[in-house]
Structure 1
């Protein structure tokens, strides 16, 4: 079996975008030409590399493995050429995480790493599904997210655990309590993430189990905007306990919701790279 290095490199770009138009534009080739490359690669390997899930393209497990190998091949080649030219290694470690992790957990570490060596780190902002895909395909060496189900094919390390808390104005009746229960929110208007977001799904399930009726005050993307809507008096909100309450709000633990745990995620062999191991150690030490 002979596999074209060019086809592997093209597939790695496609795996980044999962969109033929965007990947072809980055590669500066036509979309049909890219489609032919990937179709031929899949035929040569004898495995489907992606499939459609509704309107989205999703890599198969074999596709993730091919993308991971393609990136590793490119990195080894780049490292060899750099060393051959007598230059210092320039390849950054890539970290994938979501808004909450960047805002409330990783800021000090990122600031310190970039101060030491600005070219050492590259960041990807994404949700937890995209983070897992980035780590599985080799697009990122490390990922951070809240995970409800731990992936069996990746190594996970607990980073931090927080209670779920209710953001409520300081003058609200629930602000006088040390903690609240979901039934205390009966009749409330809640600021919530968009539908199908994990936090929204879990909250709806838990409220349904209590039998408490509630209404959506507004849907908002991201903890800062959710907190801002509560501060404006639009409604109350259940958020992760790592989020600091803005002025005028208090945070009360919700007793009957489970805590949320942020995990560090990486490929089992990732820590053989000392730069990845060093970054992981700094994240765990929060600095």
Structure 2
């Protein structure tokens, strides 16, 4: 077994840089070393750990499970080193990175982010990612915090529930369903829906539930993000199933669909996040923002 004293931390840091791009040429340029030298560092690190750290899939490279672990440790080491140097030299704290979806930023997190920035010494970096991408960013050490609707929280993470959100059908005011107080899935039969592209979690969930309920529907058009989807609804392109936290544009009404699952928005981070860090202060601000949103509905 490799002893901590035998682990080449410089090689770990170099591997983390390679893992960010999975491109040896780009990583070598960023490290200001030659590509062969980086290859040697990564190979020796893999030999030292007695584990393959990456593999080739077709013409691309991808990290192995052990490579993901080493990359995460390298990113944490890199960030910790930067924070130490900043404190020693009286510099500003390192950026806090938050990963969340566009809808979460627009409707759930805005107040918390604004409050954090008022008196934060650390700058804030926002990554706009879907649920799976946000989880991967936090698990991989690319973001300290993530916010997304989760059914199951991976055991490597700690989380708190910010809020619970239902789902609604957004329709123009003159739509045949606009005066209904609530809807059932069967009421969507024949609807032309504005939906995200295939493969996106919301699209797949909605399609599966409508198929299970034997409801036939059509794709009006595909669009990414609640704001864009609702804009097309306002134009009369179709209707859209969106989260109940979304603000409806003028001329559009929202009708609850209780048969659709409610979404539990979690704020999550790797286990062991220190309470003294700016990331923890951001987490508290986001929790307060979630509580305020719940109180307003």
TM-score (ref. length: structure 2):
0.86
Change in CA separation of 1:123 and 1:175 when aligned onto 2, cut-off 3 Å: same
- Measure, in 2, the Cα distance between the counterparts of 1:258 and 1:63: 36
The answer for unaligned runs of 5 or more in structure 1 is none
Change in CA separation of 1:179 and 1:53 when aligned onto 2, cut-off 3 Å: farther
- Residue in 1 that maps onto 2:11: 7
- Residue in 2 that maps onto 1:224: 227
- Measure, in 2, the Cα distance between the counterparts of 1:22 and 1:274: 31
Contact 2:96 2:122 in 1 (8 A): no
- Measure, in 2, the Cα distance between the counterparts of 1:3 and 1:267: 23
Mapping 1:202-281, distance limit 5 Å: 202-281=205-284
Contact 2:113 2:282 in 1 (8 A): no
Change in CA separation of 1:3 and 1:277 when aligned onto 2, cut-off 3 Å: same
RMSD: 2.5
- Residue in 1 that maps onto 2:295: none
Of residues 66-75 and 159-168 in structure 1, the stretch that sits farther from structure 2 once superposed is 66-75
Contact 2:24 2:38 in 1 (8 A): yes
- Residue in 1 that maps onto 2:194: 191
The answer for unaligned runs of 5 or more in structure 2 is 293-297
Query: In the TM superposition, what whole-angstrom CA distance separates every residue of 1:178-212 from its partner, at most 9, and x where no partner exists?
Result: 01111111111111100011111110100101111
- Measure, in 1, the Cα distance between the counterparts of 2:121 and 2:207: 43
Contact 1:155 1:268 in 2 (8 A): yes
Of 77, 81, 105, the residue aligned with 2:81 is: 77
- Measure, in 2, the Cα distance between the counterparts of 1:53 and 1:214: 38
Query: In the TM superposition, what whole-angstrom CA distance separates every residue of 1:28-71 from its partner, at most 9, and x where no partner exists?
Result: 55666545543432232112334567887554442232122212
Aligned pair count reads 286
Of 67, 71, 84, the residue aligned with 1:67 is: 71
- Residue in 1 that maps onto 2:45: 41
